[in-house]
Amino acid sequence: MRTWKRADQAFICGKCANAISAGAAMQVVTLPGITRMRIRCEACADGKAPPTLGTMVVRATPANRDAGLTSIRTMARSVNARDWKQVAAGEKK
């Protein structure tokens, strides 16, 4: 099956090895039952990209992932100083 789509990242054409930049139109060739896809640039594809392809949707970057993390030192201060051996032996502090 041959479909046209916008490249969401940089690709290389499988026929002429030219770079396909993000947002450029490319033809994707897939076969049923095979997960690998062949990518063709506009010059190597069977024709021009359809005018109804539309523009590329730009996704927002994820927020800072470290914002909600707590450091190990902070967690260690809140833990009781007794270790698991003392707790298992029933020793009191």
9 against 89, higher pLDDT: 9
**What is the pTM for the complete model shown?**
0.58
C-alpha separations of 56 from 22, 35, 36, 45, 65 in Å:
9, 24, 23, 19, 26
Assess contact for 32 and 41: CB atoms under 8 A.
no
d(CA 25, CA 19) in angstroms, rounded, equals: 12
Would the pLDDT of 47 be above 80? yes
Reference 40, options 56, 10, 18; nearest CA is 18
- pLDDT band for 93, please (50, 70, 90 cuts): low
- According to the model, what pLDDT value does residue 73 have? 78
| pLDDT tens-place string over residues 52-83 | 887 776 666 666 666 667 777 777 776 666 66
92 against 1, higher pLDDT: 1
